[in-house]
A and B are shown apart, each in its own frame.
Chain A
Amino acid sequence: MTDLTTKTIAELREGLGKREFSAVEVTDAYLQRAESAAALNAYVRLTPEKAKAQAELSDQRIADAEARPLEGIPLGIKDLFCTEGIETNAASHILDGFVPPYESTVSANLLADGAVFLGKLNLDEFAMGSSNETSYYGPVINPWRREGEDTKLTPGGSSGGSSAAVAARLCAGATATDTGGSIRQPASLTGTVGIKPTYGRCSRWGIVAFASSLDQAGPIARDVRDAAILLTSMAGHDPKDSTSIDRPVPDYEKALEGGVKGLKIGIPKEYRLDGMNAEIDAIWQKGADLLKAQGAEIVEVSLPLTKYALPVYYIVAPAEASSNLARYDGVKYGLRVHDDNIDEMYSKTRAAGFGKEVQRRLMIGTYVLSAGYYDAYYLRAQRVRKKIADEMAKVFEEVDLLLTPSSPSAAFGLGEKSSDPLEMYLNDVFTVTANLAGVPGISVPAGLDAQGLPLGLQLIAPAFGEETMLRGAAALEEAIGFDAQPTEWWK
């Protein structure tokens, strides 16, 4: 039999439906492959018993002609999603041993559609990072290597476990979350497709919060179709999340056929950074040309406030995080470092439980909200954010989509940027604006650089413009015809 893990979700769905193979066979194939890929450190926890039981149930339902949209499809779940009865740590020492008695809405939606969960995927601690190096469980290794080198590269972050697992075919697709680029940047660095939906499209309920006004769940998958299939299941209104939007979920897969003929696609000139990698610039240009060739109108647009998006993000996100992470205090769950004095207990627990990057952001967040600094930092940032969002909305009066690079560089070596927080923060330079404005973005593999590493392009759409965005992404994907695979050095 052919290796079942080479099949896309759409292909698995078809083969399972035709009974060419069973869900148990598919799950076993993935579990085996995942178990033999420990070197990538993509999973923090495999749940084989649970996966097999789910797969058996899926086979039963398929036999009974009761198959659901994702029946028997094996997925990896970012360990930021709380999963009932399965330990969830957000890659933090402070959540040691935490077993949620509840299932996040997004993962519950996937389960309700018949998906099989293989296990929990590694990430940056509390999703704070762009290289997966802040994980308490160690960094994830990118399955891609530079040609002729064995330097360990980052799969991006924070959803580095998700991107690496999809790229290395350790799951058919994965859940991920994006606060400043944490889906699109890792997708770009691993040759996978990642969607950050419109804020409010997927429920945040049951996802360990990082920055509430920016966090949004989405899929990482092998191609645009798979990503659309997963998003259709993940999205939806949830009355348990007050920021979830009550709006019907279209069948995103249907949007793929639309093509780009007649679409107006903007190239924001401010995204052409000083000293930008020439290969990225070339791939960006190629992407524009390909879309044009398929009938899209390409226009240059201006978003002059772009350069302020990252500084705004590095005020707003740490501020919200400093409050969201106050609940990790050694009282209700997770780690406690004992002390007879309650305040000492808190401080020692949090010092031991949070890694350096998280501590840094909590301190920044605490500072920018503190008396005397609130107006100058937090309030000003939220006003600049408003201007950025307005500017974005105005551009979307002119164009249907924006085309930009997804990340300012290809995968980089572990440790290369982690000594300088600011250099690391720049990874999100192309993605963060969509989070601030709440609009959707998708990263699609666009080619390989000279060293043989994948690079992605991003399409950004106005709020709830996912269908148009997917039309553009499918067209771009088809025109580019990216089919490179990493060599399986880790086996």
Chain B
Amino acid sequence: MSLSESDVKKVAKLARIAISDDDVPHLMNELNGILGWIEQLQEVDVEGVEAMTSSVDVALPMREDVLAEGYTGGGQPEKIVANAPKTEDHFFVVPKVVE
């Protein structure tokens, strides 16, 4: 499997990274180089092996449904928007979204 130039553009678009047409050929080569190397995993027999998504082997912890204070609770809109490039009245402001 290797990426075509149009694949590279599609992936960049999915990842929301603007690339210029000039960048496409060398990006394609780099990505194909890495993917080509990764290709060796096809040799491994994974028949019947379950996928590992975490090395932690305990039950997922759960919390009680009570309002939290501080970091994991609400009631701090100033802090929430304090770092935003643009805000108004505690809203985040972004370029118009057209539905």
> Contact residues of A with B, CB < 8 Å?
97-99, 101-102, 199-200, 213, 239-240, 242-243, 245-246, 305, 307-308, 311-312, 314-315, 322, 326, 329-336, 338-348, 350-351, 354, 359-360, 362-367, 370, 373, 376-377, 379-387, 389, 421-422, 436-439, 463
Contact = CB atoms under 8 A, between A and B. Distances in A.
Nearest to A346: B16
Contacts, number: 166
Contacts of A331: 84-85, 92, 94
Q: What 8 A-B pairs come out closest when comparing CB atoms?
A: A438-B55, A333-B83, A382-B51, A386-B52, A336-B85, A347-B18, A351-B18, A383-B46
Given A97-B83, A240-B71, A364-B34, A351 B19 contact: yes
Contacts of B60: 242
A347 to B, nearest CB: 4
B33 A422 contact: yes
A197 to B, nearest CB: 12
B17 A384 contact: no
A159 B15 CA distance: 26
B82 A463 contact: no
13 contacts: A98-B83, A102-B71, A200-B55, A245-B58, A334-B83, A340-B95, A363-B31, A367-B31, A373-B1, A380-B41, A386-B50, A386-B52, A438-B56
A350 B53 contact: no
B40 A311 contact: yes
A50 to B, nearest CB: 19
Contacts of A240: 71-72
Contacts of B8: 363
Contacts of B46: 380, 383-384, 387
B84 A332 contact: yes
Contacts of A242: 60-61
Interface string B1-21: 101000110011111111100
Interface residues of B, number: 53
Contacts of B83: 97-99, 332-334
B90 interface: no
B66 interface: no
Contacts of A389: 52, 55
Q: Which of A243, A332, A360, A422 has the most CB of B within 10 A?
A: A332
B84 A312 contact: no
Contacts of B34: 314, 360, 364, 421-422
A394 to B, nearest CB: 14
Contacts of B7: 367
Task: Summarize A's interface: helix, strand, loop or mixed.
Answer: helix
A344 B38 CA distance: 32
B55 A342 contact: no
A360 B30 contact: yes
A389 B56 CA distance: 11
A362 B71 contact: no
A408 to B, nearest CB: 16
Contacts of B40: 307-308, 311
Contacts of A305: 44
Interface string B26-53: 0100110111011011101010011111
B97 interface: yes
A329 B15 CA distance: 11
Contact of A101 (B53, B72, B79): B79
B55 A367 contact: no
A427 to B, nearest CB: 14
B31 A379 contact: no
Contacts of A308: 40-41, 44
A383 B50 contact: yes
Contacts of A463: 55
B41 A384 contact: yes
Nearest to A438: B55
A348 B95 CA distance: 13
Contact of A422 (B1, B37, B51): B37
B55 A199 contact: yes
Contact of A333 (B3, B17, B42, B84): B84
A336 B61 CA distance: 36
B12 to A, nearest CB: 6
Contacts of B79: 101
